Amino acid sequence: MKIVVLDGYALNPGDLSWDALKALGDCTFYDRTPAEEVVTRAQGAEAILINKVILSKEVMAALPDLKYIGVFATGYNVVDVDEAKRRGIVVTNIPAYSTDSVAQTVFAHLLTISNQVAHYTQEIQSGAWTQSPDFAYWNTPLLEWSGKTLGIVGLGNIGQAVARIALAFGMKVIALTSKKKEELPEGISPVSREELFRQSDVLTLHCPLTPATKGLVCADTLAWMKPTAVVINTSRGPVINEKDLAKALNEGKIRAAGVDVLSSEPPQADNPLLTARNCYITPHIAWATLEARTRLMQIAVNNLKSYQTGDCINNVAV
């Protein structure tokens, strides 16, 4: 089997091994592939593995040997799945590989906002503590999350993992979910959209990007929030109207935001969140711990192996 990896660098910048994949066929690896080179590089391949490369109807039409597309991610909107299905092309994704890593990132942002460890490290290095007349030194608000309300949009694997950590912190957990109350894990209460925004001291987003969730966080919903509230986004950038969130931050309508995803990545230089007040941004790294990427690699290999043996798993083109 001819296998082509079109953009493997994000998964494996050099700290993982491709050997398990190489055992499944004749492999060619590219760190990145521009759109204009996709067809040329993938020509003759029966299996293509991608992360962010777009596989459109037109691309598939130009690749008559293509039988399998493996996406190195949970989301697979980079593939025209309807067209793949029409052509009998299997499309697999990688579910639930980064749950713990993403949940950890949510609380990395929360603790950054509440405890400001990096800020105080810099203050100490500049001599602020050694020059202090007191045994303790601080110049920012210091917050405690116990007793506060955490609101979750989306109670999939990651949302539920975040809820468990929040409960361990002593937080009250509410959620916007289609699940009935009796279906929810203990300690989570379902609420309406307006109640979620009004009650949450922390709002954390763990939903897919759909027409219903695009721009969910916007001027109207931000207006419902407490001025002390925090917004965290580790889902998809467009779930937030970035202009509206930046305005709310700059005007002190909410306390802070922590985001790992933006509407375009890498971001445009004029993205308003890059310079917004109290906006803490990480560059789409919640998924990228060594442990999560190792799991991703293992699942990607198992997906292709299962296809080869006729017992395909994680096929989304069905």
The catalytic site residues sit at 236, 265, 284
**Residue 185 carries which side chain, given as an amino acid letter?**
P
Contacts of 158 (CB under 8 A, 6+ apart): 98, 99, 102, 103, 206, 234
Chain position carrying tokens 């993403």 = 102
- DSSP states of the chain as a string? -EEEESS-TTT-SSSS--HHHHTTSEEEE-S---GGGHHHHHTT-SEEEESS--B-HHHHHT-TT--EEEESSS--TTB-HHHHHHHT-EEE--TTSSHHHHHHHHHHHHHHHHH-HHHHHHHHHTTTTTT-SSS----S-----TT-EEEEE--SHHHHHHHHHHHHTT-EEEEE-SS-GGGSPTTEEE--HHHHHHH-SEEEE-----TTTTT-BSHHHHTTS-TT-EEEE-S-GGGB-HHHHHHHHHTTSSSEEEES--SSSSPPTT-GGGG-TTEEE--S-TT-SHHHHHHHHHHHHHHHHHHHTT---SB---
Measuring CA to CA, which residue among 242, 235, 236 is closest to residue 279? Answer: 242
